[in-house]
Structure 1
């Protein structure tokens, strides 16, 4: 999906619809509920469904020491929102000028003038304006004055827990990527640049793509079943995330073995979807013992990844 970076770049066709404002980090099932109601409101007012999000998260400017790593990068977020049926994503470059607007100024300049909104859809914990000065009650007041419809969508609960970006982040930090996937609208994904590693994987018969420059949250250390993507091509993969204690290497690495793939990927961006955590990282008594375990890991990962891709009509394609 094309991303609009500034309100001045919004074409007329993107104005006069239903708008939701938020970070939408991870694009989880709670976000999907909001998007569903946004689409309904957009249809009712006869305009587009528009997401206004921030790039970067406002906390990165206001409280950088307390800002957690994101779950999605902006382009990935836009693609996930497009998959849910969003018409336009405005990823506004967050700056102090925007964050200095009062609630009244933000409503008038952004929601009313720039977006020309006829309806606004938010969750109950929505705040806007400088120092979070506006809330849903403020929004309702301003909207009523401007004859704009407001719908407040209750949070989604799963087994007594509210689905939120914070909760998803906790699951991923614990390595519980399968449960996180149930709460997200797609498997948890990272991306990184393929660089040269120590070559141990090749020596073992399982060459790996070593990823650097990852700009989102890393799951807990462990071995994972995954799907690797280069452009639109997918391959089953096994990922070792963490140290290599058998060799006395305790540095954290992200090593992706693309199963049945022998392409040279150095210098390419590789994206990885985490399907499930297979085991902890641990030292082995010998290289042969390690190789035996990796062989089993790869077989399990291949089965999981191929089943996942087949279910979605996306069979693995040679990379």
Structure 2
């Protein structure tokens, strides 16, 4: 799996294949269906399966006040798409010059000249070019004129549902704390990352040390206590996660604290990634420290079970 941040130079190994263009934020089940179709078309034309995305999302340049918090960072997006059979991701720098290209100019300069694509796969709401003037009808015309195969896939809906899976829908669920419902629409549990900094040391004083996470660059779930997974390099740990204040100690500032179950050592100054499995409870004010300690012990045991259940499901 390769990540490119430009098209100069792009070797023939990553040209003359199947291409899809989009943001792919979160890499959900709808994205997975597109990726599988791209893989299939790439095999048919004898070329690579390529995702072309924008970094940053164009709305961050055009209407930054409307830009939603992202669900994934670029490297994570590459990992997830690689697991779906994609050969390369092009995270193309979003510039005003790029956004000024008309649909015909974008198609000719990027898709034909730079990518030399033989097939394309998109969803029904695909738009491209200046002011999003190009749509799937425009794309179909241009592909036909250039002898390029095109698949337009219908929105993905899960069995028994009428609302289709989308990044905006998943974003709302995560913002509300329903990370389990979001997980069922994603290809992997929702994950965020941050840097471990020094906290107040409350957890250590209770015998439950925590990593205090800051510099989060993706959406943070609603205040609450969560069961999840901590990723430190190639190692993973069941993780009890607290997002919010510590009202029992009179603290009001929202913090993100992660207890890596079974981990011993220091994490200060390290990056840490955390995946969310389910929300356990709300943040609560306890009458005393002993009551808090008892609840934390319950949270840890519940987290262990959630982690074990998830691992069992993966291996089945």
RMSD: 1.2
| Residues 2, 43 of structure 1: alpha-carbon distance in 2 compared, 3 angstrom cutoff | closer
Structure 1 gap ranges (5+): 314-319
Q: Which residue of 2 aligns with 1:120?
A: 120
Q: For residue 35 of structure 1, what is the aligned residue in structure 2? A: 35
Paired position in structure 2 for 1:81: 81
SS of aligned partner of 1:41: helix
DSSP-derived class of the 2:85 partner: coil
TM-score of the aligned structures, taking structure 2 as reference length: 0.97
C-alpha deviation, 1:310, in angstroms = 4.3
Q: Give CA-to-partner distance per residue, 1:66-97, whole Å, 9 cap, x none.
A: 00100000000000000000011111011111
Q: Which residue of 1 aligns with 2:5?
A: 5
Aligned counterparts of 1:10 and 1:85: Cα–Cα separation in 2: 20
Asked if the contact 2:241/2:258 (under 8 Å) is kept, the reply is yes
User: Could you list the per-position Cα deviations for residues 214-241 of structure 1 after superposition, in whole angstroms to 9, with x for gaps in the alignment?
Assistant: 1000011100001101111001110001
Deviation at 1:260, TM superposition (A): 1.2
Aligned pair partner of 2:172 in 170, 173, 193: 170
CA distance in 2, matches of 1:9, 1:239: 44
Instruction: Determine helix, strand or coil for the equivalent of 2:116.
Output: coil
Match of 1:309 in 2: 311
Matches within 5 A, 1:173-252: 173-252=175-254
Separation in structure 2 between the aligned mates of residue 311 and residue 11 of structure 1, nearest angstrom: 40
Q: Which residue of 2 aligns with 1:317?
A: none
Aligned residues: 314
Contact 2:17/2:45 (8 A) holds in 1: yes
- Runs of 4+ residues over 6 Å off in structure 1: none
Change in Cα spacing, 1:46 to 1:297, as seen in structure 2 (3 Å) is same
Q: Which position in structure 1 is the counterpart of 2:146?
A: 146
* TM-score, length-scaled by structure 1: 0.96
